[in-house]
Amino acid sequence: MTVYASRREKMRLRPTLRLRLTLLNGILLVGAGAILVLLAWLLVGDALHPSDQLQPGTQVVLDNGNRLDALTWQTQLVDRASQELLIKGLIALFAIGIIGIAGAYAVAGRALRPLHFVTATAQRLGEETLDQRIRYSGADDEVAELARTFDAMLDRLAGAFESQKRFVANASHELRTPLAVMRTEIDVTLSDDEADVAEYRRMAKVVRNASERANGLVDALLVLARSEAQSGRRLVRKVPADLATSVYNALSAVKAEAERMKLDVTTDLQAAPVVGDPSLLDRLAGNLIENAIRYNHLMGKLWLRTENEDGHARLVVGNTGYEVEAGDVPGLFEPFRRGGWERTGSRGSGLGLSIVRAVCDAHGGTVSAVAQAGGGLEVTVRLPAADTTPVVAASATVPRAKGLGVAPG
């Protein structure tokens, strides 16, 4: 008998699923056979009554010449038939039980073989072996469904691990850059014996700018982590808020930059009440507006709109700007993904739209982006309105966009 030791009680043994299925099949088979033998035994005893149709005192002549009373002969016949039926029936029942149990054990083992593959694959799994799959090719039954589900789970895990690796690598690279700049400037300045106060002041400005960049990246990472931790409507803070207020506050903070670039700003801020975390919603609006300004061009356009329709609060932020490939637009919502112009040296951590997506998911909403003809991007955020029933969970989807778009900061 195959047994496994329980994790909680190592001294307690329990049979395997294969053995339990075999025992269950054996009990049912032997039980059904025993009932049939019992019914046959009872039927034989009830059916063999030929003397009932004869007159009392009737005798029968046996083949050896002996004479017996019909009732006595009937009693002996019934006893002998019942005994023979019972013995042969029990022998047949025993043989059928052995064959049935062995067959059930073999069939159960074959049916449960994919489960052993699942167990073996799970035991072998590690960060370097997530490419292994069960790839069950048997009958399309519950076991096949379990195997497919397990393979799909491994696909998701592999994607999550790969995404985590990229995130850690990109975050390390982004943090290493300003630190390297600061160290280089300090080493170069200190190695110059003729450096004067002006040189030290220049070095101090470079170090300050690099530290501000590193601090901004750390802040963005903390906001992203906080937003993702509250995904699926598990917000720690749920208070009444308004997307229009968040847009107004964010627009006020970047008013000087918009005026410097001489942007044509158009606003249509209607009330869009929601229930959520006001600080995260402010960060959402701030990231969208900062991106729309940062990736705009001189004397470009910026349009902002908030409204409440169909039980959802909507925020639309659009801008003219630089052109990138249309296929890059969905990827802009991934951490540290930037468009073509960003690669030329524009400042930005590459976390702007990934934070927007995480905040939307935390509030049970969605975000989508559409590239504008001739350059620019229009981002639409949809969150459940304050007067609607909050959804239990949601996913901030990013549909494939057509046309051209700009990158996040």
Q: What percentage of the chain carries pLDDT values higher than 90? A: 11
Burial, 142: exposed, middle or buried (Cβ in 10 Å; 0-12, 13-18, 19+)?
exposed
pLDDT at 7: 47
Q: Which of 61-70, 159-168, 394-403 has the lowest mean pLDDT?
A: 394-403
Q: What is the mean pLDDT of residues 165-175?
A: 69
Higher-confidence residue of 307 and 276: namely 307
pLDDT at 350: 66
Q: How far apart are CA 269 and CA 260, in angstroms?
A: 23
Q: What is the mean pLDDT of residues 181-193?
A: 85
> For residue 49, is pLDDT > 80?
no
Give the relative orientation of helices 278-294 and 243-253 as an angle to the nearest 10 degrees. Answer: 50
Higher-confidence residue of 163 and 358: namely 358
Which range, 111-125, 134-148, 236-250, 380-394, has the best average confidence (pLDDT)? 236-250
pLDDT at 212: 79
Q: Which of 183-192, 228-237, 319-328 has the lowest mean pLDDT?
A: 228-237
> For residue 51, is pLDDT > 80?
no
Q: How far apart are CA 357 and CA 365, in angstroms?
A: 9
Q: How far apart are CA 75 and CA 259, in angstroms?
A: 118
Q: How far apart are CA 284 and CA 246, in angstroms?
A: 8
Q: What percentage of the chain carries pLDDT values higher than 70? A: 75
Distances (CA, A) of 369 to 13, 279, 326, 341, 397: 58, 23, 11, 18, 10
Burial, 236: exposed, middle or buried (Cβ in 10 Å; 0-12, 13-18, 19+)?
exposed
> For residue 379, is pLDDT > 70?
yes
Q: What is the mean pLDDT of residues 302-331?
A: 85
Task: For residue range 253-291, list pLDDT tens digits in order.
Answer: 888 889 999 999 999 999 999 988 888 888 888 889 988
Strand partners, 379: 317, 369
Would you place residue 22 in the very low, low, confident or very high pLDDT band (cuts 50, 70, 90)?
A: confident
pLDDT at 337: 61
Q: How far apart are CA 116 and CA 109, in angstroms?
A: 10
> For residue 188, is pLDDT > 70?
yes
